Amino acid sequence: MAKEKEVPLYIKMDEADNVAVVGKDGGLPAGTVFDCGLTLLEHVPQGHKAALVDIKKGEAIVRYGEVIGLAAKDIKQGSWVEESLVELPTAPELDELPLAIKVPQTLPPLEGYTFEGYRNADGSVSTKNLLGISTSVQCVAGVLNYAVKRIKEELLPKYPNVDDVVALNHAYGCGVAINAPEAVVPIRLVKNLALHPNFGGEVLVVGLGCEKLLPERVTKDKNNIISLQDYQGFDSMVQKIMAEAEMRLKRLNKRTRVTCPVADLVIGLQCGGSDALSGVTANPSVGYAADLLVRAGATVMFSEVTEVRDAVHLLTPRVANEQVGRDLIREMKWYDRYLELGEVDRSANTTPGNKKGGLANIVEKAMGSIAKSGKSAIVEVLRPGERPTKKGLIYAATPASDFVCGTCQLASGIHLQVFTTGRGTPYGLSVAPVIKVGTRNSLKQQWPDLIDVNAGSIAAGETTIEEVGWEIFRLIVDVASGRKETWADHWGLYNDLCLFNPAPIT
Amino acid sequence: MAKEKEVPLYIKMDEADNVAVVGKDGGLPAGTVFDCGLTLLEHVPQGHKAALVDIKKGEAIVRYGEVIGLAAKDIKQGSWVEESLVELPTAPELDELPLAIKVPQTLPPLEGYTFEGYRNADGSVSTKNLLGISTSVQCVAGVLNYAVKRIKEELLPKYPNVDDVVALNHAYGCGVAINAPEAVVPIRLVKNLALHPNFGGEVLVVGLGCEKLLPERVTKDKNNIISLQDYQGFDSMVQKIMAEAEMRLKRLNKRTRVTCPVADLVIGLQCGGSDALSGVTANPSVGYAADLLVRAGATVMFSEVTEVRDAVHLLTPRVANEQVGRDLIREMKWYDRYLELGEVDRSANTTPGNKKGGLANIVEKAMGSIAKSGKSAIVEVLRPGERPTKKGLIYAATPASDFVCGTCQLASGIHLQVFTTGRGTPYGLSVAPVIKVGTRNSLKQQWPDLIDVNAGSIAAGETTIEEVGWEIFRLIVDVASGRKETWADHWGLYNDLCLFNPAPIT
């Protein structure tokens, strides 16, 4: 539903900006004259920046009202400010950040919004009704996959209220330094994944018997553990897994959807394959939807440490109290050191696709990335894979890698993820639905059956951030209710679980 | 075919040993009197050690003629030398090792042994006829899995000479520090996996388009690359993958097995879920088979740095020349440092299962582990995933993690793996057959349809190392020829590819 608005020729995010981004599909040619009188000296591709004024070598390049870099040489007004012209500034000094000095006022409550979910015994909810079969070690993957294939073929059709059976295979569990300080991270992930709310409280863990990550560390109830070394021959292992699965399928099959407040939802936000329009269209729309969710009482997580690091000075004033601020800085410092041990820094984040999409560096990427967080106070900070204890906006520290962040957010218990993309990715998660939001009209045109929401219409002036934000919010409610299906779920496109393991393997 | 021999009551590996291992299933009770007059003071479980003499606190505990630890307190003759009594000695000092001072003489050639394999255009051979579809990034896993399911259902039945279609999904490719010094390791693994000889020279790489590991770095020929971002909608991606797959299936289908010398084989050796009998039964048998393979001119790789580290002083004299020795020490040093960065050391290797199986520590485990290498000279040392340039016995440095070692050895081009296990694992690889050799009669009895060769008969005195060694050699030839099937292939039990990535993710 395109509206009768003028297509803006460029997008300036803040009064202080000395660069602006070209929103038009295909970019704009040399000689283009803007309303303000500026003339382009050369072709500027879509998503890339044009200099609004002359910028001298060493002067700040400003976008979002923030310094995204320093000019590597003199840049003429109307030039294309391409990547090589933007020198990376130093990252914000973590020990000098102001904490909780601009805590946003509580946004006005949004009442009466509900969805149709499954109610779990512990009070949590499910957005899918899944049988999840966890593993304590990769060694069992072959046997479990064999059993799950048979469960899907022979048992699942008898239990039509169950959506699917998911094998939680991963690369951890043995051949790892289980007592290394950082081994707490992958162990927490495996434990919390086994307890995902979309499994309806049913736990089943398949282990081997001699692995380092003992299945008893994943679940305390021995009745939920199958250790393959306890069984006589292959068939008895498969029969045991199938029998335990069927007991759980029977119980899960009795569940029906009931009306639940949106406040019960835990929603994860992520971006992947970003471009310069991510921070203009998709991410601000998701930020608007995040505010709607927070106003409705839900829990919303944003993540990706290396994409927040350079914008952290904009987040620490927003934390609900100083402790939350210290927790946020703790996570930034942890990641700084982790990267340093590998002899890299946060500049290792940006991809060829980011740069092709107009993002000059990690600072510009970070400014766009944090737009997903909306405008509310940050009430809690989680280590990778930790479960939230509060409702509202939460910073869940994770790597920025799409599939690793997704796995961490699943461990943190998200019911659904909203994923923004500029370059385009078929990304999906088997445990929770993923709504994909595209940054450009051309992406939606190219991938109509993979992108769920088109925020590109904002850059084209056809819709507003508010309109797309509401569209995302409504789609979250519909998908969480099982009334609408994401494209990833429609095709069954699921990425592997990729655990974050910062400890050595042996 | 049990023979009429006395069941030995304990197994002493070397004249100098002051401990011996109980081989009997179920162990031996207190009061058992041995031929030599020794009486057990307490029950000693199978695979565990009994003290042959009084050992004073601080004195060396000797097995395989090597110091495996120091007595933590006085140990009486006839006692169970359990784990807590064995203090870890320091690891061999890497800068003081003798290099190539006891290079074994070339073993007598074993001529006339052949197998039925597929001959590749580059002169290498295949033991399976597989269509391998590689990936440059995890992002594409969902689409590729969807396409591979359809290829298997709709296309593969038309090409009966092709054994299977394998999707080489992995956790690498984006969200990683691609320029970190250690990123060379996972990149090498992805590149060399795509070129595995069992894919018959057919290369196909599915990428996304914006990932850090550009598909052009995996394969140079653009005709072998499908970048999903180049396609209009989901169906066109799937159609393209299927069309490219079918072109290759047609070519692969024309291949037939021909007689090839055993010298063309590249065999990987590994152990997992080891116990104290691993070094007595299964690993020496595999070592015997390794010598047969080397004598027949084949290439044989042993691996697992943390399981070699404490026995490296026994390997450096055996290297073919000083350069090979320096390469071996380079890999040990690399891993020492890698573990140190994670604040652990090689003692992090041993598992609860190892200890239950009688292995007190990593030194004892290492002594058993290197028995797989047989008696020939070590002619080359490979970094993780490197391709060999020589025939004969090669040390391919890898982590000891079963699935990570397997992935590394596949990248190094093994046609088949021999895997010894004491505790038992259903481990398997989709790209190359895995022959599993058990250390105990009781394991073969428990898992008759998962363990391919029982070396436990050696501990029971029913067979010899030589006999089991020949059994393994003959089974390698039969499996490589497609005449016999491993249990893992029979059931289709395959572990995931787990890349070794010592560099940070972002």
* Whole-number pLDDT of residue B8: 61
Q: From the CB of residue A483, how many other CB atoms can be counted at a distance below 10 Å?
A: 12
Q: Which residues contact A400 (CB under 8 A, 6 or more apart)?
A: A303, A304, A305, A306, A307, A349, B175, B506
Q: Calculate helix-pair angle for B282-295, B465-480, nearest 10 degrees.
A: 60
Q: Which tokens belong to B302? A: 């042993």
Per-residue pLDDT tens for A352-407?
889 999 999 999 999 999 999 999 999 999 999 999 999 999 999 999 999 999 99
State how far the Cα of A23 lies from the Cα of A5, in Å rounded to an integer.
14
* Helices within A281-401 (DSSP H only): 282-295, 312-315, 322-341, 352-356, 362-369
State how far the Cα of B267 lies from the Cα of A116, in Å rounded to an integer.
56
Q: From the CB of residue B378, how many other CB atoms can be counted at a distance below 10 Å?
A: 25
* Whole-number pLDDT of residue A461: 87
Mind giving me the DSSP string for B157-180? GG-TT--EEEEE--S-SSSB-TTS
Cβ neighbourhood burial of A111 (10 Å; 0-12, 13-18, 19+):
exposed
How far is A34 from chain B, CA to nearest CA, in Å?
Answer: 31
Kindly state whether B172 is in contact with chain A, defined as any CB-CB distance less than 8 angstroms: no
**Amino acid, single-letter form, for residue A179:** N
Per-residue pLDDT tens for B237-257?
999 999 999 999 999 999 999
State how far the Cα of A259 lies from the Cα of B81, in Å rounded to an integer.
63
Q: Which of A138, A341, A505 should we substitute to test contact with B (largest number of B Cβ atoms within 10 Å)?
A: A505
Q: Which of residues 111-130 of A touch B (CB under 8 A)?
A: none
Report the run of H or E that residue A230 belongs to, with start and end.
none
Q: Which residues contact B350 (CB under 8 A, 6 or more apart)?
A: B359, B361, B362, B365
* Whole-number pLDDT of residue A8: 61
Segment A317-333 mean pLDDT: 98
Looking at the DSSP bridge assignments, the partners of residue A453 are: A437
- Please give the C-alpha separations between residue B344 and each of A211, A502, B410, in angstroms, as whole numbers: 18, 13, 27
Report the run of H or E that residue B318 belongs to, with start and end.
none
Kindly state whether A340 is in contact with chain B, defined as any CB-CB distance less than 8 angstroms: no
Nearest to B373 by CA among B354, B392, B387: B392
Q: Which residues of A touch B138 (CB under 8 A)?
A: 402-403, 495-496, 498
DSSP secondary structure letter of residue A489: H
Q: Calculate helix-pair angle for A141-150, A233-253, nearest 10 degrees.
A: 50
A96 HSE (CA, 13 A, CB side): 3
Indicate yes or no: CB of A169 within 8 angstroms of CB of B496: yes
Nearest to A441 by CA among A2, A85, A13, A130: A2
Looking at the DSSP bridge assignments, the partners of residue A225 are: A205
Indicate yes or no: CB of B178 within 8 angstroms of CB of A348: yes
The tokens 């590994």 sit on which residue? B270
CB A77, CB A58: distance < 8 Å:
no
Q: Which tokens belong to B141? A: 């896993």
Indicate yes or no: CB of B175 within 8 angstroms of CB of A353: no
Q: Which tokens belong to A477? A: 């409610």
Confidence of residue A1 (pLDDT cuts 50, 70, 90): very low
How far is A85 from chain B, CA to nearest CA, in Å?
Answer: 21
The interface predicted TM-score of the complex, written ipTM, equals 0.95
State how far the Cα of B135 lies from the Cα of B225, in Å rounded to an integer.
9
CB A385, CB A405: distance < 8 Å:
no
How far is B461 from chain A, CA to nearest CA, in Å?
Answer: 24
Closest chain A CA to residue B208: A425
Kindly state whether A505 is in contact with chain B, defined as any CB-CB distance less than 8 angstroms: yes
Per-residue pLDDT tens for A341-351?
999 998 899 99
How far is A125 from chain B, CA to nearest CA, in Å?
Answer: 26
Between A and B, how many residue pairs show a Cβ–Cβ distance under 8 A? 260
Q: Which residues contact A309 (CB under 8 A, 6 or more apart)?
A: A91, A92, A332, A335, A336, A346, A362, A366
Indicate yes or no: CB of B146 within 8 angstroms of CB of A343: no
Per-residue pLDDT tens for B418-457?
999 999 999 999 999 999 999 999 999 999 999 999 999 9
Rg of the Cα atoms in chain A: 24
CB B404, CB B500: distance < 8 Å:
yes
Give the pLDDT of chain B (506 residues) as one tens digit per residue. 344 445 567 899 999 999 999 988 889 999 999 888 899 999 999 999 999 999 999 999 999 999 999 999 999 999 999 999 999 999 999 999 999 999 999 999 999 999 999 999 999 999 999 999 999 999 999 999 999 999 999 999 999 999 999 999 999 999 999 999 999 999 999 999 999 999 999 999 999 999 999 999 999 999 999 999 999 999 999 999 999 999 999 999 999 999 999 999 999 999 999 998 999 999 999 999 999 999 999 999 999 999 999 999 999 999 999 999 999 999 999 999 999 999 999 888 999 889 999 999 999 999 999 999 999 999 999 999 999 999 999 999 999 999 999 999 999 999 999 999 999 999 999 999 999 999 999 999 999 999 999 999 998 889 999 999 999 999 999 999 999 999 999 999 999 999 999 999 99
* Whole-number pLDDT of residue A458: 94
Q: How far apart are the first and last CA of chain A?
A: 57
Angle, CA B71 vertex, CA B73 and CA B18 arms, to 5°: 125
Q: Calculate helix-pair angle for B402-411, B184-194, nearest 10 degrees.
A: 60
Kindly state whether B361 is in contact with chain A, defined as any CB-CB distance less than 8 angstroms: no
* Whole-number pLDDT of residue A3: 43
Mind giving me the DSSP string for B175-239? SB-TTSGGGHHHHHHHHHHHT-GGGTT---EEE-SS-SS-HHHH-S-GGGEEEGGGSSHHHHHHH
State how far the Cα of B160 lies from the Cα of B147, in Å rounded to an integer.
19
Kindly state whether A344 is in contact with chain B, defined as any CB-CB distance less than 8 angstroms: yes
Q: From the CB of residue B3, how many other CB atoms can be counted at a distance below 10 Å?
A: 11
Nearest to A316 by CA among A271, A371, A378, A224: A378
* Whole-number pLDDT of residue B35: 86
Relative to beta strand B66-71, strand B86-87 is: antiparallel
Kindly state whether B276 is in contact with chain A, defined as any CB-CB distance less than 8 angstroms: no
CB A503, CB A468: distance < 8 Å:
no
Q: Which tokens belong to A343? A: 């002899």
Mind giving me the DSSP string for B397-425? ---S-HHHHHHHHHHTT-SEEEEEESS--
Indicate yes or no: CB of B498 within 8 angstroms of CB of A229: no
Q: From the CB of residue A115, how many other CB atoms can be counted at a distance below 10 Å?
A: 24
How far is A241 from chain B, CA to nearest CA, in Å?
Answer: 15
State how far the Cα of B172 lies from the Cα of B470, in Å rounded to an integer.
40
- Please give the C-alpha separations between residue A212 and each of A102, A505, B278, in angstroms, as whole numbers: 46, 12, 19
Q: Which of B210, B338, B486 should we substitute to test contact with A (largest number of A Cβ atoms within 10 Å)?
A: B210
**Amino acid, single-letter form, for residue A180:** A
State how far the Cα of B477 lies from the Cα of B483, in Å rounded to an integer.
9
Q: Which residues of B touch A399 (CB under 8 A)?
A: 175, 505-506
Kindly state whether A273 is in contact with chain B, defined as any CB-CB distance less than 8 angstroms: yes
State how far the Cα of A231 lies from the Cα of B446, in Å rounded to an integer.
8
CB A259, CB A480: distance < 8 Å:
no
Q: Calculate helix-pair angle for B233-253, B141-150, nearest 10 degrees.
A: 50
Tell me which residue in A171, A339, A342 faces B498 most closely, judged by beta carbons: A171
pLDDT at A23 over 90: no
State how far the Cα of A477 lies from the Cα of B390, in Å rounded to an integer.
62
Q: Which of A210, A359, A421, A485 should we substitute to test contact with B (largest number of B Cβ atoms within 10 Å)?
A: A210
Q: Which residues of B touch A402 (CB under 8 A)?
A: 138-139, 174-175
Indicate yes or no: CB of A446 within 8 angstroms of CB of B233: yes
Edge-first strand listing for the sheet containing A60-63: A60-63, A66-71, A86-87
3-state secondary structure of A484: coil
Nearest to A38 by CA among A71, A81, A6, A73: A81
* A445-448 LR contacts (CB < 8 Å, sep 24+): A446/B232, A446/B233, A447/B232, A447/B233, A447/B234, A448/B233
Q: What are phi and psi of B408, to 5 degrees?
A: -65, -45
Indicate yes or no: CB of B450 within 8 angstroms of CB of A140: no
